[in-house]
A and B are shown apart, each in its own frame.
Chain A
Amino acid sequence: DSGVTQTPKHLITATGQRVTLRCSPRSGDLSVYWYQQSLDQGLQFLIQYYNGEERAKGNILERFSAQQFPDLHSELNLSSLELGDSALYFCASSPGLLGSYEQYFGPGTRLTVT
C-alpha cells in the first residue's frame, strides 16, 4: 500500500459526459501528479500540483482540468468524454519538487467510455 488513495476504482460512462476522479496523497506529501495509461499512448504525464498551485503540464487535453485543494487532495475533471479517453488514470504524490524524490502511485481509476 503506497498510502495514495484514488476513488472510484472503476467508472463507466457515456460519450459526452463529465466525470471527476479523486486522489488523496500520502500524508505529508505536497506534490500531486496525474498520469494517464492507455494501450496506445503508454504512461503519459498529465499535470502536477504543488501545495495547491499548478506546477507543470504535460499532454493534458483542454477538456481535462485538475485542482488541488487546501487539504492537498486533488481532483481530475474530464469533460465531453470520448471513446479514446478510456484509460487508467493514476495519481501519484511526492514530498516536494526535488527531482530525486520518488513518486508514490495510487491504485488507479479505470475509466471506460461507451
Chain B
Amino acid sequence: AQSVTQLGSHVSVSEGALVLLRCNYSSSVPPYLFWYVQYPNQGLQLLLKYTSAATLVKGINGFEAEFKKSETSFHLTKPSAHMSDAAEYFCAVGTGGGNKLTFGTGTQLKVEL
C-alpha cells in the first residue's frame, strides 16, 4: 500500500527565512505526489503535483518541491516565508487506479515576525 510520512507536525520559521516541509513516500510503483495547503476553516488547495514529467516542480505562491527517488522524498520548500504562508500543509500520494489520495498527517507551519 502507498503511504506518505510527514516529519514534524509543527514547523516554525521567521518571516523571510527558508521554509522546508518534509515528506517521504512509500510506493511500489512510480507515485503521483501532491502538496496541498489548508488555511483555517477552509478546504484544501493544491500547491503543486509531481507526475514524473520533471523532478523539480514549481507550484503556486512561490513553493516548489523536488522528487528524489533515491531518498523517496518530496520535500516542499519556499526560499522566503511570508506571514500569509501560515497554514497546514499536507503531502499526499495518489494511486494509479481509481486515483484516491492517501494523505500524510499534516504539518502546521507558523511564521513569526
Contact = CB atoms under 8 A, between A and B. Distances in A.
Mutual binders A and B: yes
Interface of A: 2, 4, 31, 33, 35, 42-43, 45, 48, 55-56, 58, 90, 92, 94, 96-108
Nearest to A57: B100
A90 B95 contact: no
Interface residues of B, number: 23
B102 A45 contact: yes
A55 B95 CA distance: 13
A48 B49 CA distance: 20
B28 interface: no
A100 B54 CA distance: 13
Contacts of A104: 46
9 contacts: A42-B105, A42-B106, A45-B102, A48-B100, A92-B44, A99-B95, A99-B96, A100-B94, A103-B101
A56 B106 contact: no
B100 A56 contact: yes
Contact of B99 (A2, A90, A94): A94
Nearest to B98: A56
A102 B106 CA distance: 18
A98 B49 CA distance: 13
A72 B105 CA distance: 30
Interface in B77-103: 90, 94-103
A56 B32 CA distance: 17
Contacts of A106: 43
A90 B98 CA distance: 18
Contacts of A48: 98-100
A102 B43 contact: no
Contacts of A31: 99
